[in-house]
Structure 1
Amino acid sequence: MTVVGIPLDFLLFALVLLGVAVFHHHTLRVAFWGMVIIAAYKILFGDFAGTPGVPGFVQMLHHEWVTLGNLLGLLLGFALLADHFERSHAPEMLPNYLPDDWKGGFVLLLMIAVISSFLDNIAAAMIGGAMAHVLYKGRVHVGYLAAIVAASNAGGAGSVVGDTTTTMMWIAGVRPGQVLEAYVGAAVAIVFFGIIAARQQQAFQPIMKDNPRAVRIDYGRLGVVAVMLLAAISTNIFLNLRYPRMLNEWPMIGVAVWVALVLTIPWRQPTWSLLPGALRGSIFLLSLVMCAAMMPVKALPAASWPTALGLGFVSAVFDNIPLTALALRQGGYDWGFLAYAVGFGGSMIWFGSSAGVALCNMYPEGRSVGAWLRGGWHVPIGYVLGFALMMAVVGWEPEGHAGSKPAAPSVQSSASVQTLPHKP
């Protein structure tokens, strides 16, 4: 069914996104019931990748459950991890080492980007949020929240273990060196938005100066954090190298984080009371991911640098995981440009990436699209500047299908191309 030539599925999804943007105090209800309505419509009147009715819906759930399971496990697990980290008192040591002006906030963003290069961007954003909470006494500017998310996403864009999308590319045959060039754009973007956001934050709430009192670090809680992070990293790397298929069939990374959390309970008890709030944020994100998965997107526009640039903006409101899967299937992309676009693009809106949703569980004031765009206006500009520098320095070199030799971009008939909406 179409309305003025646009599939009704897309219009329903657009209404959900509009509702999330306008009714930011009721985002969970809007996203969840929007997902239910879209699912009911497709079961009764549409299909799921060609399979109609309930069987098609079950088939889609079977395909998406690994992504949903990993997201749920990571969002809940890393919420408890961030609390362990903050309660270890380690962030209270930072004022003794960071500059006492806006440069301290900028260095913190650089630290978040580095952490994200070898760690999941959700954990990097949560740890960064915990550090900012201490450094700025709980008063963090929305523009700086956007910068924390952008730093975590940019930091993982050039590493095959730093982001789900780059890990997907690695599994598909893209070599780690092929996505490394994404750091050219990420570095420029971080410098641009990082300086502006750090100055915003310093004017809003100055950074804490050297801590005069003696800080006693709780090494037990730091040990819990280390074990959980090592579990996530080692599981990701080991399974990618030895059993990549298992990553596609089971939510192993999310499970590994929770196994580590449970095994370390004798060291320190987690703050279980944080789980209800984290669960609400998780259901919100999972609902949007489900909405995106139900959209009838079968192809992307022909592979080119303008398409890759556009995918970054699309990633702000449309799940970047299916976008990446479609691009890998289509071929003809420069994988470093694609990694930068889909990895960094979700930072432009708070619900555009799982890192943003996780951070806004800690800082509910970030759940306003208007406030996020007003405060974090520097993030989309930084994205464009980074992409432009990549074009000037690296150049667009399409590399065919993942794992194949470089090839010219494939040409598709415009009649076979389904134009995409935006992402959760």
Structure 2
Amino acid sequence: MDSTGVPASVWLLTVLLLTVMVAVDLGLHVRRPHCPTLRESAIWSAGYVGIALVFGLAVLAYAGPASAAAFYAGYVTEKALSVDNLFVFLVIVAAFRVPREHQQKVLLYGVVLALVVRTGFIFLGVALIERFSWTFYVFGLALLLTAGKSLRPPAKTSSSRPDAATHTPRTARWARRLLPDMAEYDGERLVTRRLGRWQVTPLLAVLVAIGATDLLFALDSIPAIFGLTQNVYIVFTATAFSLLGLRQLYFLLDGLLERLAYLAYGLAAILGFIGIKLMLHALHENTVPFINDGQPVPVHEVGTGTSLLVILGILTVTVVASLTSRRARSLGALATAERQVRAYLDPAYTKDPAERERLLEQIRAQAGIVRSTPSGARALDRASDELHAVLSDTVSRP
């Protein structure tokens, strides 16, 4: 499937499909503020993944196995990178104390904003690639540097992830400085009138922080997918389908994110692999004068099918290792429990009694997991007074 040969009608139908998906999500799912259940999030997540899989089959029928493999490889890669992005979104939501009932709509707006930002980056990347062949060297080097940075030892906290209470993302701090005069939350309003004047609400600051965060994430994700295919249609659709459904995945993985202790290492391996693949492609298409006198270098390139298998293999090993490591499981559960305790004790978090009861049950369940290993039990002993208070029922229930 040559991207220049994709009919305008196909582009139009694709954009229409994506628009309908967002409209259905906004009109049927998040129109009424509520706390999503695990079952609800699982059904919607499965639906979005199913649509992406069917779309890949349509690509297979229309353009052949090579294009379909490129779409699936791009989709899986972008989805995996999005899971890591979810943790930062979680920290931003916690930093601004977004009420649980309104988190869905905030994340949906963030996803739409991310789709707009990444679409701009995609067409910018296409323009650079078509004009400057050395762009592949830049993309490859950027991914290798990001992979190396991801392998640095994490900050010393109770888990391999930063703590939401003490590690506010720079984008959230920047949003607070940009919008210093904020009112309290006023339902789903982005601006509200207080004391005779208009003021922004924290929801607007959250959107600014999420948008700025995704701008930074795009610097990694867009070069990564260009390392798998340079077909602009495949790049766009794989990116779009990976972002849609990200909101449901956020609630589905809530309580599990901290337990993916080795995810950063798996993503580093994927980015490193794609970075090397980009470098090989750059050498194969070389026109840089000081490399082989400006002539292409005869190197072996990794096929798209092989790339898909490598990416799936790395993700499988990463997830299995994270979920089966008793130490990572217990320390991740402690980090989840600490985060959930802060939400449980925050009266602005939710007014839904069922959601508060769900949180309390999860806190107790996480504590049981923590006690399963000696290191986890010792860490639990040193945990916050608030966690111990909730576990011993010394904090009155609402």
**TM-score, with length taken from structure 2:** 0.34
**TM-score, with length taken from structure 1:** 0.32
